[in-house]
Each structure stands twice: as C-alpha cells, then as structure tokens.
Structure 1
Amino acid sequence: MKNIFSYIVLFFVLFQHSAYSQNIDITKWVNWNKYAASNDNLDLPAAGEKRVVFLGNSITESWAIIDSSFFKVNGYLDRGISGQTSSQMLIRFRQDVIDLKPALVVILAGTNDIAENAGPIALKYVFGNIVSMVQLAQANNIKIILSSVLPVYQFPWRKELQPAEDIIKLNSMIKSYCNENNIPYVDYYPLLVDESKGLDAKYSKDGVHPNYDGYKIMEDLVLGAIKKVLE
C-alpha cells in the first residue's frame, strides 16, 4: 500500500510542475469546485447507512440528469464531471469519494483518455489510474465496483481517432484485474454494442452518451451488483 501512496504523490508533484510550466490552473483542470458546496453540505452517513458514490465523466454526470429518479430513489451520489480523464478523477478522488465516507464507489473511467482529451496516453497508464483509485478506496475501507467502458465507434469531437479496439483492450485489462482481485465488474459493453463495435443507435444520439433506454439497461446491471456487494 505504501507504493500506491508514493505513486500518487509523485504523480501529483510531476503534474503540478508540468501545469506550472504550461500555465495551467490545476483547480479548474481537476474541477475540485464542481461538487465542493454539495460535499460541504453533506452530512456523514447515518448509522447503518450504506452510501454509494458514482465516480466518472459525462456518462456518469448525465445519468443523474436523464434519469434523476435512479439516484434520488436509491440515495446514490453522482460525482461525474463531463470531459474528465482517469487522471483528473484520481486527483479528486479524496474530495469526491473518500471524504464522503461511502460504503461503495462505482467507477466508470477511460472514455476520455481514449478520446485523448488530455493528450495521447498509453492504455497501461489509464489502467494504472483506475487501479490507483481502487487501492485508495481499499485503504479507506470503501468497497469498489469497476465498470466497463461503453462502446464507441467514433468520437464526434475527435473524428480522426479509431477508439473501438482500444476500448476492447482496456475493458479486457479491467475485467482481468477484477477477476484476479475479486472485485465486482459491471460489463455494460455487450448489451450496448452494435455490429461496428460502437454504441448502438437505439441507446444513444451521439454514439458516446447513453439515452434514457441505454441508462435503464445500465441500471439493471449495476443495481444487481450493488445489492450483492452491500448485502
């Protein structure tokens, strides 16, 4: 466990140096402020309460907008931020997950890394960020569910990329890690993919983000996994 904390400290120091040299506002880049007020106003879980946090990108953020009842009825917290990569999620993991004292975190990360939102990145580093979040959760007695990256044939904002095979590879890495470490893995991919290895048009308008019907499929899968983990 010491190695993971050393890795995260080194990652943050190197990023700060890079950000300073490029005149990047790290607070805006990580977007710590997005949920700061909500987090500050959130009480600690009541006795016996099993709080669940969903951490992710726009797919997670939009989930609570398109089907808000899923989060309200179940008492889940949505901590998705549009456009974010796994590196950004890792940096804000303490503020948006650990400090909220959840029993469980559901992580969906990797889409925007493959879209190169923060520049090109090798899959092994994306995977490493996800593993680091798992280890941080475990160090704080938080249970974890990892999710597959949803299928994408083409990113509307990065049409020159061909993400389909990288998504398959990253999902394979995540699934193998989950199998080897007894971590629940929610595999949305096979129920949402079409013949071109993209997100089926029945479940999306833009080929990246699910519509209501797509989220309902995801909900059926993740609800079962959450119930099993928390029972």
Structure 2
Amino acid sequence: MIGLLFNTAQAQDWPNLKKYQVANANLNPEVKHRVVFMGNSITEGWSAARPDFFASKAYVNRGISGQTTPQMLLRFRQDVIDLNPDIVVILAGTNDIAGNTGAMTLVQIRDNIHSMVELAKANEIVPIVCSVLPAYDYPWRPGLQPNIKIPKLNDMLKKLAEEENVPYLDYFSAMADDRNGLPKKYADDEVHPTKEGYVIMEPLVEEAINSVLNQ
C-alpha cells in the first residue's frame, strides 16, 4: 500500500515541480547576471561535491537526479524562466538514453533540448547547450551502448547550437577516454563525476558563461 501511494504521488508530480518551489520563492530577485544550471544528477551532485563553486557566485543549481529531458521541459518555466536569469546551462540527455522514463530516440532527446533553447531565447535568456558527458555503460541498466549513442547525440546538439546561434559547451572531448567512456579518475561509477571530474568541468563552463556576459 505504501508503495502504491508513493507511485501515485510521483505520478501526480512527474517533473518534480515541488522540489525547488520553496527555494525559488526565496531567491533574491535583485541578483544580477544569474545563471541557472538545468540538469539531472550530474548537475544536482555538483553542489554537494563542490559547494563553493555555487555559493560564491550568482549560480543557481536546478538539477534533479534521474531526470530526463521531458521532465526538465515541463519544469523549465518554473525552475528557469521565472528566476529571470541571464543564462541557462542545459546539461541533459544521458538519462533519456538510459530509458529512465521510457524509450527515447536521439531525435526526441534533441527536440526536447531544442524546445528548452527556444523557450530560453523567447524570454531573453541565453542558453548554453552542453554536450552529454561520456559514459561507456550505465551500471543501473547495462548494455545500451551509451558510448556509441552519446557521441551521435552530441553531434546533433552541436549542430542545434550552431543553427540557433547559441553557445555549445563540449565537456565530452575534455573528459572521454579511448572507449568514449568517463574514466574512474573523473567518476567512480564512470557516470557521475567526483570532485576531480567537476574540477575539469568548472573552467569550461565558466569560460562559456563569461564569454556570454562579456558580449
């Protein structure tokens, strides 16, 4: 019965809109040059692994573990647009490939990210489209060949960014090993970055953010 109640509640808030409602309401509206990080566990875990990276800047972490692009798209207005940022950093897609909320094609993943890009631009927010991080395999769902699918998706995301004239941030090239995987020196489970992995990512994203702010 408890499991049934949990599943019913989860179904009623599939995108997990409740998670950041209070935090959003408590944000200082006067902060300038706010940057929202939209993503999944890779983004959410960033604050725990490297809290100073977010605490010392106008950065807002809106990652939710396990989420896929359709879930992010549903909460994009509440967790990004309504916060009035200058920039949104979109890092998404690996959980779609893993099938966390059902089967998704690469085109469908790209299209959901495209919709987030369009929403951001329509609200005068600059979207930074990030490559999906490398993954050789998913420990929780092996055999889906993310090492083959992620590079293909990244090529599509890079083309999307070029067509929309928005920044593309390539984490993949800086972190992938010769298997198109994420080595253990950056992620114990080869999917979720450790502090060492985020240390690689931080200067890359800050360069992209500063480039936008300096334009």
Q: Pick from 217, 226, 229: which aligns with 2:200?
A: 217
Contact 1:45 1:51 in 2 (8 A): no
The residue type paired with residue 204 of structure 2 is L
Structure 1, unaligned stretches of length 5 or more?
1-21
The residue type paired with residue 183 of structure 1 is V
Q: Pick from 141, 144, 149: which aligns with 1:166?
A: 149
Contact 2:161 2:167 in 1 (8 A): yes
The alignment partner of 1:62 has SS state of: helix
Q: Is 1:36 aligned with 2:27?
A: no
Contact 1:110 1:126 in 2 (8 A): yes
The alignment partner of 1:105 has SS state of: strand
Partner of 1:123: 106
Partner of 1:45: 30
Alignment of 1:134-153 (within 5 A): 134-153=117-136
Contact 1:50 1:103 in 2 (8 A): yes
Alignment of 1:68-83 (within 5 A): 68-83=51-66
The alignment partner of 2:112 has SS state of: helix
Count residues in correspondence: 208
The residue type paired with residue 30 of structure 2 is P
Q: Equivalents in 1 of 2:164, 2:76: separation in Å?
A: 21
Structure 2, unaligned stretches of length 5 or more?
1-6
The alignment partner of 2:166 has SS state of: coil
TM-score of the two chains, using structure 2 as the length reference: 0.93
The alignment partner of 2:13 has SS state of: helix
Q: Identity of counterpart residues, as a percentage?
A: 52
The alignment partner of 1:79 has SS state of: strand
The alignment partner of 2:205 has SS state of: helix
Q: Equivalents in 2 of 1:45, 1:157: separation in Å?
A: 42
TM-score of the two chains, using structure 1 as the length reference: 0.87
Q: Equivalents in 1 of 2:15, 2:120: separation in Å?
A: 19
Shift of the alpha carbon at 1:26? 4.0
Q: CA RMSD in A?
A: 1.4
Q: Equivalents in 2 of 1:223, 1:27: separation in Å?
A: 36
Contact 2:33 2:58 in 1 (8 A): no
